Structure 1
Amino acid sequence: MKFEVTPFIFETSNSFYCYDDTTKVVIPINKAEKLFLESVNTDEEVDLSTIQQKNNQDISYLLNRVNTLGMFQIPYKKYELSSKTLETSLKEKGIFHLCLVVTEACDFRCSYCIFSDYYEFTKSYSSKKMDFDTARKSIDYYFQQNTKAMLHNPYVSFNIGFYGGEPTLNWKLIEAVVKYVKTEYSDIFDNINFLMTTNGFTLTEKRIDFLAENHFIVSVSLDGTKENHDRNRVTHQLKPTYNVIFDNLKRIEKIYKSKKYPKFSYGILITFDNLTDFKVLDDFFLKNKFLDDRIQLIAPVSEFGTEYYKNQNNRELLKKRTDFIFNLMEKAKQKEFEEHTTNFSLFLLKNMISIPLLYLNYSVSQLRGACTPGHHKLTVDPLGNFHMCEKSNPDLYIGDVHKGIDKDRQIEVMSKYQSLIESKCQECNLKNVCQICYVSATSENGNYFISDSYCEKFRKSFKKSMSNYYELLEENPSLLIKLRK
């Protein structure tokens, strides 16, 4: 037999494990099996008869399991890319999310924003605003495609998101779009969802009522304490924003608690960097439970294609973070830990453990973490051009509101990306869980590039996540059930 893919080995305090990227299977191994798997050469056949003659029962048993499960056998499989494939996908699955970039203007100048000068290959702020005609054409196209898809999948949903810049700076358009959708489509479809990501600075009580009445899912950015938040999130005049955002969140919570709008959903997004003190934030959320209960996402500032972290090598703070994470992991091994900790800490554990492990549920991803452009998310810029994502390079457009999705542009974008994946990732033993995508692999002029440092960081992160996950699985499996809900 021959190993087509190198085994991926990780360990906990007490055990060794091996992960196979082909089957997504993890098997426990002993030290002898670990040494054997580490010595595997994908260019050579494994001589089963020699192993059996040596009466090495552990290795023989291991190889029988590998053979039975079909582990380490499937090399890279090329994605079938054609106009027909794309047409069939759109017809059968529709478009999951319509993302309307209603403005490229913003009243904040957050230092870590992907549209800031720290990110070389993304668009910058501008005064462009979407008009109603562009929004209407986008919506009509979206409903037209998804109505066709309902013939194949009756559970197709309609998700319309408002993004920027800062979307509330084009508030009249948001109101007009909601009115149009309700007038033209709500009588036909009852599964229409409105979403908005906002800095929360201009959320008056009247606007909050509007969002609540229309059952918006609202995400507001708040980076914890005043000191941590105001360090990065300032107005275009470089003034602090924390006090206004905190007061507006209290206003939202008051409206929510009135139970006037039972379907109103809101939450907060937290972004951290190397200067963020997790212990200080944990204490903050312990004192502000109404915010702790509303955490939707905790994410690091993106480190790819940016020089943001260039001057963030504070060893003392990084040591404090390492200690906090270590103590958190130790506490998490205790029974009923989840009943006595903050939601903030639970989300950190999710980031460390559950989120990477969820990738194991995916089918073999021939495009790695990339989507089919315009199908998972169709992003429309203020001028009516179609893009695959609100964060993507503006040169990578894939159509417009007048002609719809351009399959030739889709194929061009995907072909360039696929060529890179074929040359770079063919022998990787984590390619089916890798989350590299068009945005994280973008370089100048719409070309793609994957740095060795990206791969090294991902491998290190995945290995640590697997080790942490199985460490807790051995000690406190009930916690993992809660984290995965």
Structure 2
Amino acid sequence: MKILLAEKFTTESGNNYIYDGITSIVIPTNEVMEKAIELLKKENEQETIKQLSQEFDLHEVISAVKFVSRWTNVFKGFYRESGNGKVRDTSANIDEIKNALANDTYLMVLNLTENCNFRCKYCYVTETYDFTRNRTGRSMDFATGKKSIDFYFQNLKEILKKVPNKKAGITFYGGEPLLNFDLIKKLVEYAEEHSPVPLIYNMTSNGSLLDEEIMDFIVRYNINIAISLDGSSKNHDKNRVTLRHDSTYNKVYENLKLFMKKYPNYTKLGIMGVYDIATDLIENTDYFEEESLPHILMLNRVASKNTDYYNQFSKEDFEAYNSQINTLRKTYIKKKQNNEKISNYLEMLFDMQLGPFLMRRRIQDIRPSIMPFTNSCIPGIRMFVRVDGTIDMCERINETFPVGHIDKGFNYKNIEKIITQYNKEICSKCESCSVEKTCPLCFASCNEDSGFNYPEKDFCSRWKKECKDALSVIYTVLEKNNQAYDRFWKQVEKSFEFRG
């Protein structure tokens, strides 16, 4: 039996489209097309034409039916045969796991310290969140860092045999990585001397420890650095405080300004921002329009999974937040449609929300057979190295899913077990999902202690609605300005420039 995997959405101008869940292509539609798609799920062409011609013009019916038939024949679009595409048991596929790791991109993230000089109220590595790592006083030493780089380079040399133009990335992470700046210097110097490929360095910092020596080092080695700044002093200091709960905005702002003054042409300095229900988004929009600050690289809302963080907000808080979002969305759409100057904050506020739908997988973006659904990476593609040398699949996962150690390499049995468990506990219904190719779920967003679960019970139905709403906004914009998202794609290319 065929399952129809398509969703209809409407733009603000009243135009209707079909999102084809098989190819991830958006197609203009009308009532005849929609009924043809529905009927062809169970009827042949002749019977479909016969039924529809009783209600619509024959030539219009034939045109619609022929289009749908060609689409399904050429691209296998719209429908999936029930029972096909079942999640595979990976118990006998360790060779496929090794092959996936030998062919895909490696990014190594070094957790230089589990300590931090801030106590941000929404930090995910605290007791605010269940099932996450917690802050400690431990730090990585040079011996562990050196062995991590050696292990990383060893794997890269194997990839080079298949991808000769390979690049690679090393990210310095924390806690606050600049608390271990001496180690950063030693590791960069060691990596520069021994790397088999061109290296791109990345770092996320709270910005409080930036001084001229650190700035000089960052520029000398062309390090991409993202500084956390949540907006105006009111919005930033609401959540980002020191150990003694003192405000941090002034120090971060002054350091950013000093960096820009000292190196006005340095383009690899950016900002990462976070917001919650109580953030004054309109004030932040104006703030970033008026202030001369580095480009915002990422803007995320405080995560709501496995936390009581949002219990502090009232019904009125949520209503006020939704009112702000609706007001700003109208402004965003108008400015994008007309190619008007737009606040960096406003653009990123919605581009980040629309990102999963702009970047959705298309027909030729084939998932690995061992993980056919969602957009999660294969464990090991992104290596997060703890301070003790244990390898996790990323920095967002908790400590119950190790995939290896720098002394012993990857633990393929563990990876096999993790993939099998994820496929079983998260992906069992993906085969019949019409928006699966946009799905943001991954190991880190679903992890609990030694298991996986959906971020919320109604996640799948909510995501389907979000997908249709997001596509409506995107195509409302594109109908009037087909180049509206060029800047978005350039930013995406820049963020993945380490890919070979």
When residues 35 and 53 of structure 1 are mapped into structure 2, their CA distance, relative to the original with a 3 A threshold, is: closer
Q: For the residues of structure 1 that align with 2:94 and 2:220, how far apart are their CA atoms?
A: 42
AA of the residue aligned to 2:85? Y
Q: 1:131 maps to what in 2?
A: 141
In the alignment, what sits opposite 1:298?
299
Q: For 2:259 and 2:88, how far apart are their aligned partners in 1?
A: 46
- The question of whether the paired residues in 1 share the 8 Å contact of 2:376 and 2:441 is answered with yes
Which digits, 9 at most, give the CA deviation of each residue in 1:76-133, with x for residues without a partner? 354584111122223333x521100011111111111111222101011011111111
Q: Does 1:83 align with 2:91?
A: no
Q: Which of 144, 154, 158 matches 2:168?
A: 158
Q: 1:242 aligns with which of 245, 249, 257?
A: 249
* 1:52 alignment partner, one of 49, 53, 69: 49
2:169 aligned counterpart, secondary structure: strand
Name the CA distance, whole Å, in 1 between partners of 2:124 and 2:453: 18
- Stretches of structure 1 that go unaligned for 5 or more consecutive residues are none
Shift, 1:140, TM fit: 0.2
482 and 92 in structure 1: CA distance in 2 versus 1, 3 angstrom threshold: closer
SS in 1 for 2:200: strand
Q: 3-state SS of the aligned residue for 2:401?
A: coil
Would the alpha carbon gap of residues 311 and 46 (structure 1) be closer, same or farther in structure 2, given more than 3 Å must change? Answer: farther
SS of corresponding position for 1:235: coil
Contact in 2 for aligned 1:3/1:41 (Cα 8 Å): no
Work out which of the residue numbers 212, 218, 226 in structure 2 matches 1:219: 226
Task: Give the Cα separation in 2 of the matches to 1:103 and 1:41.
Answer: 58
Q: Is it true that 1:282 corresponds to 2:293 in the alignment?
A: no
Q: What fraction of aligned residue pairs are identical, expressed as a percent?
A: 27
Whether contact under 8 Å (1:22, 1:364) holds in the other structure is no
Distance 2:9 2:236 in 1: 36
- Superposition RMSD in Å: 2.2
The 1-side partners of 2:103 and 2:450 are apart by 33
Give the alignment of 1:311-460 within 5 angstroms: 311-312=312-313, 313=315, 314=317, 315-334=319-338, 336-337=339-340, 340-361=341-362, 363-365=365-367, 366-375=372-381, 377-449=382-454, 451-460=456-465
1:443 Cα offset (Å): 2.2
Distance 1:446 1:385 in 2: 19
Alpha-carbon contact 1:20-1:429 (below 8 Å) kept = yes
Choose 342-351 or 152-161, whichever is displaced more.
342-351
Letter paired with 1:202: L
Cα deviation 1:228-271 (Å, max 9, x = unaligned) = 001111112211100000001011111221x5xx5x61100011
Offset from partner CA, 1:272-314 (integer Å, 9 cap, x none): 111122211111012112x1x4211112112222222223341
The one-letter code sitting in structure 1 at the alignment partner of 2:48 is I
Q: Report the CA distance shift for 1:198/1:415 in structure 2 as closer, same or farther (over 3 A).
A: same
Q: Partners of 2:89 and 2:450 in 1: how far apart? A: 25
**Residues 167 and 483 (structure 1 numbering): CA distance in 2 closer, same or farther, change over 3 Å?**
closer
Q: Is structure 2 residue 254 aligned with structure 1 residue 254?
A: no
CA contact (8 A) 2:19 2:25 kept: yes
The answer on whether the counterparts of 1:100 and 1:163 sit within 8 Å (CA) in structure 2 is yes
**Alpha-carbon contact 1:132-1:177 (below 8 Å) kept:** yes
Residue 351 to residue 92, structure 1, CA distance change in 2 (3 Å): closer
CA shift digits 1:405-440 (9 cap, x unpaired): 111111011110011244232211111221100011
Whichever residue aligns with residue 404 of structure 1, its letter is: G
Q: Using the TM superposition, give the Cα deviation of residue 19 of structure 1 relative to its aligned residue in structure 2, in angstroms.
A: 0.8
Question: In 2, distance between residues paired with 1:275 and 1:322?
Answer: 15
Candidates 86, 103, 128, aligned match of 1:92: 103
Matched-pair contact (CA < 8 Å) for 2:33–2:65: no
In structure 2, relative to structure 1, the CA distance for the partners of 1:148 and 1:241 (3 Å cut) is same
In structure 2, distance between residues paired with 1:225 and 1:465: 28
Give SS of 1:359's match.
coil
Assess if the C-alpha contact under 8 Å between 1:305 and 1:440 holds in 2. Answer: no
Q: Partner amino acid for 2:7?
A: F
**What TM-score comes out, normalization by structure 1 length?**
0.90
Partners of 1:443 and 1:449 within 8 A in 2: no
Q: Quote the Cα distance in structure 2 between the aligned partners of 1:85 and 1:373.
A: 12
- Hey, what's the Cα distance between the residues in 2 that align with 1:409 and 1:468? 42
Distance 1:422 1:354 in 2: 22
Q: Deviations over 1:300-338 (max 9, x none)?
A: 11222222222334122331231122232233322x31x
Distance of aligned partners of 1:127 and 1:352 in 2 relative to their CA distance in 1, 3 Å threshold: closer
Q: Give 1:355 deviation, angstroms.
A: 4.4
Task: Indicate if the aligned counterparts of 2:160 and 2:166 stay in contact, CA closer than 8 A.
Answer: yes
Q: Contact (CA 8 Å) 1:16, 1:31: kept in 2 or not? A: no
Match of 2:200 in 1: 193
Change (3 A) 1:104 1:41: farther
Larger RCO, structure (CA 8 Å, separation 6 or more) = 2
CA-CA distance at 1:352 after TM superposition? 4.2
Task: Give the 3-state SS of the residue equivalent to 1:218 in structure 2.
Answer: strand
Aligned to 1:176: 186
The residue type equivalent to 1:272 in the other structure is: Y
CA shift at 1:36, angstroms? 6.2
Q: Secondary structure in 1 aligned to 2:219?
A: helix
Distance (whole Å) between structure 1 residues aligned to residue 118 and residue 255 of structure 2: 16
Please tell me whether the aligned partners of residues 96 and 157 of structure 1 are also in contact (alpha carbons under 8 angstroms). Answer: no
For 2:255, give the aligned amino acid.
N
AA aligned to 1:329 is I
How far 1:40 sits from its partner (Å)? 6.5
Residue aligning to 1:28: 28
1:109 match: secondary structure = coil
Contact kept in structure 1, 2:16 and 2:30, CA below 8 Å: yes
> What pairs with 1:136-147 in structure 2 (closer than 5 Å)?
136-147=146-157
Give the conservation status (yes or no) of the 8 Å contact 2:111–2:140.
Answer: yes
Uncovered stretches (5+) of structure 2, i.e. residues with no partner: 491-500
Q: 1:104 aligns to what?
A: 114
Match of 2:494 in 1: none
Q: Is the CA contact 2:87–2:428 (under 8 Å) kept in the aligned structure 1?
A: no
- In structure 2, give the amino acid aligned to 1:165: G
